[in-house]
């Protein structure tokens, strides 16, 4: 037996274990046979063992360079550094389907082994649901995109990895993305199970919220890392282009964000039950849509073109089956999804969250429509029309601004109903600060409506968030006489969910300010420079020294060397062009001198000869704010997830115990009549 | 040889992880098979929580006593849908 055959055997065992998990899982749900149910838990863990073995075998083949295996031959070569050889696991369709399946199997094993004792009502159904997905992934790996498929002949070297992917960020981005995307299958499975088995909210809300938070954190980081890679590698000075593959990851993120807010209303007020269930399952369905967009090659207008191996139709089928199953569960159990309370007032936290849900869902709908427009226009107009960044920016920016306003207002609006005078009284300071900063920004080049309002509103919301931290710290400081820092820490640790969430909002606002700032006052110049020539670009004096060629394992590089002076600081930059054998186009190596307020970004376009260099120089303001925001976002989510289990749930409300329709009827009556019910 | 050994280890591991839980569940006493006794501590803590944090549904004000008939904040009668 050879190693590829061992890998195939492991995949077969995984498929058999998945079939057992699903078949026996459904059977034990009907018969309540405890010993068989325990074997189902074991089988779920067995899938993870087998998939881990398959992944380890493929990694072994990649690292040792067994080019008789197609996945190794297509994506590595002898000269590739070890890190990228290992990262080539997710370089192609076969490897990435295996990787997806592996991560899902780890999630399923955790749910089966740790989750089952705690969530005993839901897990017996959630595990077979996840097992059904695993049948799909292991089936794909066994039958459609075999990662251990052999090539003819006995090649002694491979095709190598796409030079654009030979980047540390691009090694981290796919695992983070997959962990986030496939992680949304777990809360979806729990929601369907909870709705079907009529488990009370109190039992499933904390479980589902944590799982979704975990997946959302990874997805958020992955999306920003993707932008970081584009900024570092593609050489156009930007980080987001509303590319179909970028949109594919944004869609589930938007819906999951709405879910994380909506679930609070479900928990505290028994409302938005349809919204919460729909958003929770919808985020997973959108990951399937996103996978279809990415892997099928149906949208040709993407820079992230993955050469499809025909997996698209399978993911589409999975999407329709999952959609049908979810719709069946929701319709059959629609009674359990009826709201237990009614909204008292539009100006209330519930009202704000409803608007939030609407905005996020609307943005997702616009992005989905815009992404698929080439196909829609081809079908209805006969010609494929690609919508540009201007469409997406124009349509989504106002809604994002609306979201940011809500973000700033929500903390000071009470549950059930609030008075606008109270809200205004608590928010006037952040508004004043926002307007002042907005005016300052306007005087410094932020002239367009979007730039001005973007800064004003983002700073206002930031002020509102900081105000909440200040209030909490002040209460503790007055009560305990402790120092301010200790008081702040104590306040955060006393309610990690709330303050972790607020910190995540602050991180989001920092990213927003970075996005607005990076689209304002940026500068691009292209020059042909001769050695010794100096140019001045916005505070930088850039002197060109000449071209130098270097040989690296697997490629040749030509670099243009510059000495840059900025104020009293002197540093060197060397943008280059890398020439890979077998690749028609050279790959640009961008030179970035990052700073908090601006980046110097240099790209070598080419050389007309005589040691001259054609260089494109960008000065990009505030891009670093986006990366900083990402780190804070991840940290904040960890704080929120660190809230003690059971300690962070809302106190029980009478509507959970009393007859719910009576309360709902009472709420519908005019105020005078309520005491009569 | 090594590969065959790995395949054997993997197979045995898979069988063990499916069969052993089945076997250990089967040898449990009938009392245990019925299901683990409920952990009533969580239920009691929850009820305690409800009793301590009883809010008026009309005004959101906290009610101080279990036998309280009228909300001391807004005067709504408790029990006629006046509890939250």
pLDDT at position B74, please? 59
Cβ contacts from A onto B, under 8 A: 95
- B16: tokens are 């063990």
* Residue A486: domain span: 397-520+628-676
pLDDT of residue A211: 93
Q: Which residues from chain B sit within 8 angstroms of residue A10, using beta carbons?
A: 10
Of A554-568, A571-585, A650-664, highest mean pLDDT: A554-568
Tens-place pLDDT, residues A384-438 = 899 999 999 999 999 999 999 999 999 988 888 888 888 898 899 999 999 999 9
**A676 compared with A57, residue with greater pLDDT:** A57
Among candidates B33, B53, B57 on the partner chain, residue whose Cβ is nearest the Cβ of A651:
B53
* Count of domains for chain A: 3
Residues in contact with A104: Cβ distance below 8 Å, sequence separation at least 6, in sequence order: A130, A133, A134, A137, A182, A185
Residues A307-329: what's their mean pLDDT? Answer: 88
pLDDT score for A410: 92
Instruction: Categorize the per-residue pLDDT at A459 as very low, low, confident or very high, splitting at 50, 70 and 90.
Output: very high
What pLDDT, on the 0 to 100 scale, is given for residue A115?
Answer: 74
Whether A37 has a pLDDT exceeding 50, the answer reads yes
Q: Measure Cα distances from A128 to A38, A207, A319 in Å.
A: 13, 17, 17
Name the closest residue on chain A to residue B1, using Cα atoms: A1
pLDDT in tens, A187-236: 999 999 999 988 887 788 888 999 999 999 999 999 999 999 999 988 88
Asked if the structure places residue A657 within a domain, the reply is yes
Helix/strand/coil for A594: coil
Residues A619 and A632 in one domain: no
A637 in the same domain as A575: no
Nearest-CB residue to B10 (from A13, A20, A658):
A13
| Two tokens, residue B37 | 């006794």
pLDDT of residue B81: 37
- A139 and A44, same domain (yes or no): yes
Contact A85, A560 (CB under 8 A): no
CA distance A650 to chain B (A): 10
Residue A604, domain member (yes or no): yes
Provide the whole-model pTM: 0.87
Q: What is the 3-state secondary structure (H, E, C) of A345-365?
A: CCCCHHHHHHHHHHHHHHHHH
A577-599 b/e (C-beta count within 10 Å ≥ 16 → b)? bbebeeeeebbbbbbbbeeeebb
The tokens for A149 are 């498929």
Instruction: Tell me the residues of A at the B interface, defined by beta carbons under 8 Å apart.
Output: 1-3, 5-6, 9-10, 13, 17, 20, 34-39, 41-43, 45-46, 49-50, 53, 202, 415-416, 646, 651-655, 657-658, 662-663, 666, 674-675, 677
Question: Is residue A232 a part of any domain in this protein?
Answer: no
Average pLDDT over residues A630-652: 79
Chain A within 8 Å of B83 (Cβ-Cβ)?
Answer: yes
**Residue A470 lies inside a defined structural domain of this protein:** yes
Cβ atoms A226, A246 nearer than 8 A = yes
Chosen from B2, B9, B10 to mutate, greatest number of chain A CBs within 10 A: B10
Q: Is residue A401 part of a domain?
A: yes
Chain B residues whose CB is inside 8 A of the A2 CB are 3
- Interface ipTM above 0.90: no
Question: Which chain A residues are within 8 Å of B3, Cβ to Cβ?
Answer: 1-3, 5-6
Contacts of B23 in chain A (CB under 8 A): 35
pLDDT more than 90, % of chain A: 64
Residues A447 and A596 in one domain: no
CB atoms within 10 A of CB A627: 19
- pLDDT, tens only, A185-197: 999 999 999 999 8
Which of A119-133, A304-318, A433-447 has the largest mean confidence?
Answer: A433-447
Quote the mean pLDDT of chain A.
89
Averaged pLDDT for residues A145-158: 90
Report the alpha-carbon distance of residue A519 to residue A247 in Å, rounded: 20
Closest Cβ opposite residue A41 in set B21, B82, B84: B21
CB–CB of A9 and B7 under 8 A?
A: yes
Which pLDDT band holds residue A672 (cuts at 50, 70, 90)?
Answer: very low
Nearest CA in chain A to B17: A42
The answer to whether residues A515 and A538 belong to one domain is no
Among candidates A469, A92, A147, A465, which has minimal Cα distance to A306? A92
Give mean pLDDT, residues A135-149: 94
Nearest-CA distance from A2 to chain B in Å?
7
For A20, the closest of B18, B25, B83 (CB atoms) is B18
> Which chain A residues touch B25 with a CB distance below 8 Å?
34-35, 37-39
Considering only residues A485 and B47, tell me which one the structure prediction assigns the higher pLDDT.
A485
Residues of B in contact with A662 (CB under 8 A): 81
**Minimum mean pLDDT among A57-61, A258-262, A306-310, B76-80: which range?**
B76-80
Within a domain: A279 = no
Same domain, A112 and A46: yes
> Could you report the per-residue pLDDT of A362-379, keeping only the tens digit for each?
999 999 999 999 989 989
Between A59 and A476, name the one with better pLDDT: A59
Do residues A494 and A634 both lie within one domain? yes
B74 at the A interface (CB within 8 A)?
A: no
Chain A nearest-CA residue for B82: A675
- Spell out the residues 6+ positions from residue A513 whose beta carbon is closer than 8 angstroms to its own: A454, A455, A458, A459, A462, A622, A625
pLDDT at residue A311 greater than cutoff 80: yes
How far is B8 from chain A, CA to nearest CA, in Å? 10
Q: What is the mean pLDDT of residues A624-631?
A: 96
- Nearest CA distance, A46 vs chain B (angstrom): 5
Same domain, A78 and A153: yes
B81 with A663: Cβ contact below 8 A? yes
Q: Which residues in chain A have their CB less than 8 angstroms from residue B83's CB?
A: 654, 658
User: What is the residue-level pLDDT of chain B in tens, covering all 84 positions?
Assistant: 889 999 999 999 999 999 999 988 876 544 444 455 555 566 666 665 565 456 665 555 666 666 677 766 656 666 543 333
A556 is a domain residue:
yes
A656, closest residue in chain B (CA to CA): B84
A338 is a domain residue: no
Cβ within 8 Å of residue A20, ≥6 positions away: A40, A43, B18
The whole-number pLDDT of residue B39 equals 57
Final residue of a domain: which of A133, A161, A189?
A: A161
Residue A179 pLDDT level (bands cut at 50, 70, 90)? very high
Same domain, A108 and A22: yes
Of A36, A657, A677, the CB nearest to B81: A677
Average pLDDT of span A665-671: 52
Distance from CA of A416 to the nearest CA of B (A): 9
pLDDT at B82: 36
- Shared domain check, A644 and A502: yes
Note whether A654 contacts B77, CB cutoff 8 Å.
no
Same domain, A3 and A88: yes
Q: What is the percent of chain A with per-residue pLDDT over 70, rounded to a whole number? A: 93
pLDDT of residue A288: 93
- Same domain flag for A134 and A71: yes
Cβ atoms of residues A394 and A366 within 8 Å: no
């Amino acid at each position: 037996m050879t190693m590829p055959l061992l890998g195939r055997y492991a995949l077969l065992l995984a498929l058999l274990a998945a079939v057992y998990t699903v078949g026996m899982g459904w059977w034990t749900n009907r018969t309540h046979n405890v010993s068989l149910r325990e074997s189902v838990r074991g089988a779920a863990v067995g899938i993870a063992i087998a998939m881990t073995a398959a992944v380890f075998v493929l990694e072994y083949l990649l690292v040792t360079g067994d080019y008789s295996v197609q996945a190794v031959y297509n994506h590595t070569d002898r000269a590739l550094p070890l890190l990228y050889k290992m990262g080539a696991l997710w370089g192609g369709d076969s490897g990435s389907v295996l990787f997806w399946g592996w991560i899902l199997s780890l999630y399923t094993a955790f749910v089966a082994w740790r989750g089952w004792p705690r969530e005993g009502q839901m897990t017996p159904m959630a595990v077979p649901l996840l097992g059904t997905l695993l049948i799909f992934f292991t089936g794909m790996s066994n039958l459609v995109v075999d990662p251990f498929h052999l090539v003819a002949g006995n090649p002694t070297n491979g095709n190598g990895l796409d030079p654009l992917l030979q980047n540390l960020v691009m090694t981290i981005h796919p695992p983070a993305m997959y962990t986030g995307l496939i992680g949304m299958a777990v809360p979806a499975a729990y929601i369907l199970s909870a709705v079907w088995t009529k488990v009370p909210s109190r039992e499933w809300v904390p479980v589902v919220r944590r799982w979704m938070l975990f997946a959302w954190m990874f997805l958020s980081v992955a999306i920003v890392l993707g932008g970081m890679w584009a900024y570092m590698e593609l050489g156009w000075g930007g980080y987001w282009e509303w590319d179909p593959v970028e949109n594919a990851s944004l869609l589930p993120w938007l819906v999951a964000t709405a879910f994380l807010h909506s679930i609070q209303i479900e928990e505290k007020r028994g409302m938005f039950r349809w919204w919460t269930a729909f958003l929770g399952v919808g985020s997973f369905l959108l990951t399937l849509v996103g996978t279809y967009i990415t892997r099928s090659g149906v949208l040709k207008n993407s820079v992230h073109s993955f050469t499809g191996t025909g997996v698209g139709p399978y993911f589409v089928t999975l999407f329709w089956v999952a959609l049908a199953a979810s719709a069946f569960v929701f319709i059959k159990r629609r009674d359990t999804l009826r709201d237990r309370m009614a909204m008292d007032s539009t100006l209330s936290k519930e009202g704000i969250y409803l608007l939030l849900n609407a905005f996020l869902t609307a943005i997702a709908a616009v992005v989905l429509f815009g992404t698929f427009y080439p196909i829609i226009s081809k079908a209805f107009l006969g010609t494929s029309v690609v919508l540009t960044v201007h469409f997406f920016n124009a349509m989504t920016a106002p809604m994002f601004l609306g979201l940011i306003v809500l973000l700033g207002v929500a903390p000071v609006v009470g549950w059930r109903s609030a008075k606008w005078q109270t809200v205004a009284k608590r928010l006037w300071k952040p508004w004043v600060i926002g307007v002042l900063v907005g005016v300052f920004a306007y005087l410094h080049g932020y002239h367009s409506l979007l730039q001005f309002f973007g800064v004003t509103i983002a700073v206002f919301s930031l002020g509102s968030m900081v105000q909440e931290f200040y209030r909490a710290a002040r209460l503790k400081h007055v009560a305990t006489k402790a120092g301010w820092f200790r008081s702040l820490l104590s306040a955060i640790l006393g309610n990690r969910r709330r303050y972790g969430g607020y910190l995540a909002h602050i991180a989001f606002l920092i990213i927003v300010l970075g996005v607005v700032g990076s689209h304002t006052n940026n500068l691009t110049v292209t020059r042909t420079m001769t050695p010794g020539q100096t140019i001045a670009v916005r505070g930088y004096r850039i002197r060109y020294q000449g071209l130098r060629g270097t040989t690296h394992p697997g490629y040749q590089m030509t670099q243009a060397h510059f000495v840059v002076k900025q104020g009293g600081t002197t540093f060197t930059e060397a943008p280059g062009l890398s020439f890979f054998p077998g690749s028609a186009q050279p790959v640009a190596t961008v030179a970035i001198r990052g700073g908090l307020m601006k980046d110097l970004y240099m790209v070598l376009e080419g050389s007309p000869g005589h040691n001259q260099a054609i260089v494109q120089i960008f000065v990009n303001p505030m891009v670093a704010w986006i990366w900083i925001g990402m780190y804070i976002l991840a940290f904040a989510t960890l704080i929120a997830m660190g809230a003690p289990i059971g300690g962070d749930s809302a106190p029980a409300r009478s509507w959970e115990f009393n007859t719910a329709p009576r309360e709902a009827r009472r709420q519908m009556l005019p105020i005078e009549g309520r005491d009569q019910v | 040889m090594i590969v065959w050994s790995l395949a054997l280890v993997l197979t045995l591991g898979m069988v063990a992880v499916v069969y052993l839980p089945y076997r250990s569940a089967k040898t449990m006493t009938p009392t245990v098979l019925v299901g683990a006794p409920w952990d009533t501590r969580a239920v009691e803590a929850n009820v305690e929580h409800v009793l301590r944090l009883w809010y008026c549904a009309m005004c959101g004000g906290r009610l101080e006593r279990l036998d309280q008939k009228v909300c001391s904040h807004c005067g709504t009668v408790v029990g006629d849908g006046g509890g939250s």
